[in-house]
Amino acid sequence: MESKPAGMLEQLDSVLVVAPHADDESLGCGGLLAKLAGRDCNVHIIYMAVDGFHHFGLPAETTFHQRVEEIEKVTKLLGATYEIAYGDQDLIEKLDTLPRRELVDRFEEAFNTHRPELLMIPSGIDYDQDHVAVFESAFAAARPIAQIFGKWLMPHVMTYEMTKLNWASTSPPRPVAYCDISDVMETKLESVRLYESQLRPSPHIRSLESVDALAAIRGKEIGVARAEAYSVLRTIL
């Protein structure tokens, strides 16, 4: 029987995920990261703003220490390393107030240091100003400058989605890249569940039911049980 050619995931050596807040990576591409866990691929997550915060639907404020504990559990589950760009600096939901040059510089340094083959960033079609600021800055930092000029040019740059993108001022871009996560869906859900301070009951967009529903819809689009979908900003074949 003829063997199937290796897919993109099997060929990846380095993946970098940018998460505006701790849990965005699980919601957006936790299935992809679960498929890479245990393989010979370096996965690194940059959490932009991690703070104690009083979220809607919670009786009390979560603490910075609590959020870091959640990150530790999730990154261990997904086999990833991580860093926090702005920790305990009261910048959650305020990343758009930072100088754009500062954010671009941070991303350029991270991209040149980690030299990822695949960069995953949040969608720029979002009502959350933090996500928009992160997208625009990461997009600028990922601009195509040849490596002979000393800048790492990532061959694959994609944006991930989550259920909240259904509320957008413009129509979200149609996804063009998919990852079958049927065999790791439970791991993705567990990574979401480990963010206890963020989890909400249905019909909240951060509920496990909502996460599973989106994965089921994307799965049907490619003929599998569960999938994640991404928009492609650049891919080099």
The predicted pLDDT at position 54 comes to: 60
pLDDT confidence tier of residue 215, bands split at 50, 70 and 90: very high
Question: What's the confidence (pLDDT) of residue 46?
Answer: 98
- The pLDDT of residue 61 is 82
Q: Residue 179's domain is classified under what CATH number?
A: 3.40.50.10320
Structural domain that includes position 29: 10-235
Instruction: Tell me whether residue 2 is in a domain.
Output: no
Q: What is the pTM of this model?
A: 0.93
CA-wise closest residue to 46 among 151, 137, 165, 175: 137
Please indicate, yes or no, if residue 181 is contained in any of the structural domains: yes
Domain contains 95: yes
pLDDT, tens only, 127-165: 899 999 999 999 999 999 988 999 999 999 999 999 888
Residue 3 lies in a domain: no
Residue 210 lies in a domain: yes
Q: Could you give the number of structural domains in the chain?
A: 1
Q: Do the domain assignments include residue 141?
A: yes
pLDDT tens-digit profile of 11-29? Answer: 899 999 999 999 999 999 9
pLDDT bracket for residue 6 (50, 70, 90): low
